[in-house]
A and B are shown apart, each in its own frame.
Chain A
Amino acid sequence: GQSLEQPSEVTAVEGAIVQINCTYQTSGFYGLSWYQQHDGGAPTFLSYNALDGLEETGRFSSFLSRSDSYGYLLLQELQMKDSASYFCAVRDLDSNYQLIWGAGTKLIIKP
């Protein structure tokens, strides 16, 4: 079967760095995306990795290791507004390139 695993909840302190991990098991991996969703809101796209390595966009970075079926989202200089749920999603060739979503990680930031 196809599945994605990510922690259900992560807690961090304002100004710190936090890493949210995602491991996946899919038959036709094409790329890994990350989305942010505030409570009651719409998911918004953060990043996409198709090749191994680190992609950096401001305070957010995303990493992928295809050989380990593993990726992570790194958030630096945490701000209270970063409190949200973060979803990893795999674009899967065998599902007609549709996204398969993880259950999400709720990030709680303490002052």
Chain B
Amino acid sequence: DGGITQSPKYLFRKEGQNVTLSCEQNLNHDAMYWYRQDPGQGLRLIYYSQIVNDFQKGDIAEGYSVSREKKESFPLTVTSAQKNPTAFYLCASSPTGEIGTGELFFGEGSRLTVL
């Protein structure tokens, strides 16, 4: 079945360590996104990519990095520079990057806890 797969579902990290969250989609969507969700808050955009080998910073990109070498994959690295990385991370994709209904298709999320 088509969809978005995020891994791992749960991740624990020590302070000072980098960690990479995986996001793979087989929906043949052009655009992919990473969001961060904190309790009681809306989603905040970290990075997005509308085409392979290109990506743009969202509202809270500091301390994060991404790559988009393949259409299907958009991994997110949470670096040690991110001061408060404990959060729920959501990856999403959409068939068009700029216009349309605004429908995003989400993965099940990765919950990162920094010890």
Name A's B-contacting residues (CB within 8 A). 4, 8, 30-31, 33, 35, 40-45, 48, 87, 89, 91, 96-99, 101-104
Contacts and interface: CB of A to CB of B under 8 A. Distances in A.
| Chain A interface helix/strand/loop/mixed | strand
Chain B, interface size: which category?
A: 20 to 34
Nearest to B105: A45
B2 interface: no
Question: Top 3 A-B pairs ranked by shortest CB distance?
Answer: A101-B42, A42-B106, A48-B101
B45 interface: yes
A103 B97 CA distance: 23
A87 B42 contact: yes
Interface of B: 40-45, 48, 56, 58, 90, 97-99, 101-109
Given A45-B101, A48-B102, A99-B45, 10 more contacts: A4-B42, A35-B104, A42-B107, A43-B104, A97-B98, A98-B48, A98-B58, A102-B42, A103-B41, A104-B42
Nearest to B99: A97
Given A42-B90, A43-B90, A43-B106, A101 B44 contact: yes
A44 B92 CA distance: 10
A87 B102 contact: no
A8 B45 contact: no
A98 B106 CA distance: 15
A98 B40 contact: no
A42 B108 contact: yes
